[in-house]
Amino acid sequence: MRSAPTILHLDMDAFYASAEQAAKPSLRGKAVVVGGLGPRGVVATASYEARRFGVHSAMPMGQARRLAPNAAYLVPRFGLYREVSEQVMGLLRELSPLVEPLSLDEAFVDLEAGGVADDEASARAVGERLRSDIRAVTGLTGSVGLAVSKMLAKIASEEAKPDGLRLIAPGTERALLGPMSVRTLPGVGPATGDHLRRGGITTVEEIAEAGEDELVRLLGKAHGGSLYAMALAQDERPVVAERDTKSVSVEDTYDVDIHDRVRVRTEVARLAERCVQRLRAAGHSGRTIVLKVRRFDFSTLTRSETLRGPTDDPGVVREAAARLLESVDTTGGVRLLGVGVTGLADYTQEDLFAQAQAEAVAAEVEAAAEAGVVVGAEVSAGADESGAGEPEAEAVEEAVGPAPAERRWAAGHDVRHAEYGHGWVQGSGLGRVTVRFETPGSEPGRVRTFRTDDLDLELAEPLPLVGVGVPSGWAEREGARVAPVAPGQE
């Protein structure tokens, strides 16, 4: 292990919830919970104000609502979170070529490899400057841990939360770890923690005192040996700049079990499209298509099909997923569906036959529509049986226009009104949608209610969290004043 605390771990503070508070002035300083809002939803992130009520990540949303009934409950806006994450990761890459992202809001950095730190003083200076830069660029806060290893740096950032910096000086690691719970160490979850507790081991110091042989007897050679080494503050894992992506997948959990087979097929096709979008965004293609189905009784089935070569063609993935679905019995109801692609590659070998077939079907349907032939639901459903229904439906929609449908307004999503400007959805129901009109740079805005089919109201893209003031004309119309800019955000 190195002799200076030059491994940095950054963890953004309550990332999703903090981003929502920064975007919505009326929520600053208030309890905010981000996650799935349906009966089966879970908490993705809770603001520190919500955590005071006992709300935490992975908690069922129903339980969170009971604990904090007056909190703001919002659906995630991953587009915004990814944009902010890219800004933060850009700042980290300015420090070192060795940056190891763990998620959108968390990463390790090897400061020594970047030549920006070689002792305690320089490492601390870099950490403080990073926290300042993150606040200036994103308007958010992050906690920084500095130590001689990845394990210790992560523990230090946890100790620093929220919005702090903790440096573990070389030579003090054992004294720091000793009284901590065994759950502090990586790889010790609830099951392992209970197993150790039954063996009379509850702290890190007790792991060290038990000895490696006892740990191996309790947990096995690999797990026991690594856990004993970590209890002695030994961690030789390097910071790895690139971690290979092994798969790309998307899945949805439904508030009410889906029993209609046609609806299940439609959902699988939609998930396949989303999966390909992610696949292309990552610059990959893949050979193996995977379908995941969780049924009404919580039994989970997976089916897979390997293609002749890697593809990123949505038609190919959609048709493969449809074929896989035919082998799954969904008569009892479906609570979760997922589509994934594995066997990733950086090039694509298109399935030209499938692509040509889809184009031919689309052209045939479009010609029928131009000739005045009505293509009904029976035709679309029949085509879907063979996996070619989606291109047909798209062609008909393009020819005759989309069928009218009530627009859905998710709580927290951005909207724009022709008269009142930018705002966000506070809630909707019974044919009405409530919108608060404010921007990241304004004071808390006013609330107005509209019909869900109001043509002056439309979905909008999120605004940057820093550097955007009040839209032109908005302040005069609403009597708002521009909020003062925080230091470093000019």
Q: How many of the other CB atoms lie within 10 Å of CB of 442?
A: 23
Structure tokens belonging to residue 154: 């992560």
Listed in sequence order, the residues at least 6 apart from 366 whose beta carbon sits closer than 8 Å to its beta carbon are 395, 396, 398, 399
Calculate the alpha carbon distances from 370 to 357, 367, 374 in Å. Answer: 20, 5, 10
Start-end of H helices in 235-313: 261-281
CB 423 within 8 A of CB 435: yes
Tell me the β-bridge partners of 478: none
Beta strand 7-12 with 142-147 is antiparallel
Of 405, 418, 423, nearest to 470 (Cα)? 423
Structure tokens belonging to residue 31: 């309890």
Residues assigned a catalytic role: 106
Of 201, 155, 184, nearest to 211 (Cα)? 201
Residue 365 phi/psi, 5° resolution?
A: -65, -40
226: part of which helix (H) or strand (E)?
helix 221-231
Structure tokens belonging to residue 461: 């893209």
Q: Tell me 483's DSSP state.
A: P
What strands, in cross-sheet order, belong to the sheet with 106-110?
99-103, 106-110, 7-12, 142-147, 165-167
Rounded Cα distance between 487 and 485, Å, is 7
**Rounded (10°) CA dihedral 310, 315, 319, 321:** 70
Of 437, 439, 424, nearest to 469 (Cα)? 439
Rounded Cα distance between 65 and 71, Å, is 8
Rounded to an integer, what is the distance from CA 137 to the centroid of its chain?
21
Tell me the β-bridge partners of 301: 293
Rounded Cα distance between 390 and 269, Å, is 7
Tell me the β-bridge partners of 415: 423, 459
Can you list the positions of beta strands (E) in 56-118? 72-74, 99-103, 106-110
Please name the residue that has the structure tokens 């089916």. 303
List the helix and strand counts (H, then E) for the chain. 17, 17
